[in-house]
Amino acid sequence: MSTAKSAELVDIISVGNTLGEGISWDPIGERVWWTDIQERLLYRYDPLQGALKTFDLPERLGSFGFIEGSDEIVAAFESGFAMYHPESGSLDWLARPEHEAKNLRFNDGRVDRQGRFWAGSMVEGNGLPTGKLYCLRGEQLDVCLTHIAISNSICFSPDGRHLYFADSPHRAILRYDIDANTGAIGNRKIFARTPSGAFPDGSNVDAQGYVWNAHWGAGRVVRYALDGSIDLEIELPTVQPTCVAFGGKNLDLLYVTSARQGMSPDALAREPHAGDVFVYKPNIKGLADPRFADPRLRRGS
């Protein structure tokens, strides 16, 4: 079994995002997509052409997934779930669950191996941990976890049997078992803990099932083995990495988003690449992100 012993920085996409997040590679279009949450922008980058395009959004977009047989995305906007077409701007709301507080919005999310879209909400600023983790299966929306401060690190094992999740302030990545048919989760275990000052942000899983996590506040991406031990650490040129995705034609590149939100002028002067997207070449391959099963196909629309 090959192991990632190093990762070479091969490119920096200079975008200066306020809060870059939710990055994902589209193997059909061979382009990488991500969101700048605070600026209400969706980014699309074609590495072969060096072409960058942005799309204005109706709300802040926490996370998204690609859809089977469609050019739309399934989106976790700040207020709920929708089908969104970036080129036309068309919007079809699927569910807008009532948040328990005004300072809640949707944050991290991914599509699982069965084509369901998972996304969690988070508290902005002070307040009780009233966030929730949701699972969208077609048009059915289920609440899977409650009492969350900041939902993050959502990703799934290659066989679809495990969910990884973190409530970031607790500095622990959790692992749950998933019922493949119902999406019900259980058997909660602590998979890995992050050190002081390192908060688990976005995660992804590679072809070996190892978990890659961005450590917000610590300026690194960590690859965890199946037992939760650290296999590799990548030091980034900025302190606030946010999310990771495997991409490239052979899924052998690691894309990492970052943020400049909350950084002082002095900190930004020290970290001129804060908010950019970093591209690394590790000695490992990823998996294609699953695509959401469009519920409209089932009802013939």
For 146-183, b where at least 16 C-beta lie within 10 A, e where not — what string? eebbbbbbbbbbeeeebbbbbbbebbbbbbbebeeeeb
Question: Active-site residue 201, yes or no?
Answer: yes
Inter-residue contact 84 to 106 (CB < 8 Å): no
Start-to-end CA distance of the chain, whole Å, equals: 46
CA distance 199 to 193: 9
The one catalytic residue among 108, 112, 201, 276: 201
From CA 27, how far away is CA 23, in angstroms rounded?
13
DSSP codes joined into one string, 113-129: TTS-EEEEEEE-SSS--
**Sign (positive or negative) of CA dihedral 57, 248, 255, 121:** positive
* List of long-range contacts for 67-74, beta carbons under 8 Å, 24+ apart: 67/291, 67/292, 67/294, 68/115, 68/291, 68/292, 68/293, 68/294, 69/294, 69/297, 70/294, 72/294, 73/33, 74/111, 74/117, 74/136, 74/292
> In the 8-state DSSP scheme, what is residue 295?
H
**Residue 183 corresponds to which tokens in the numbers above?**
């999406």
Beta bridge mates, 152: 166
Question: How many other C-beta atoms are found inside a 10 Å radius of the C-beta of residue 48?
Answer: 9
- Contact assessment for residue 73 and residue 88, using Cβ atoms and an 8 Å cutoff: no
Known catalytic residues are 201
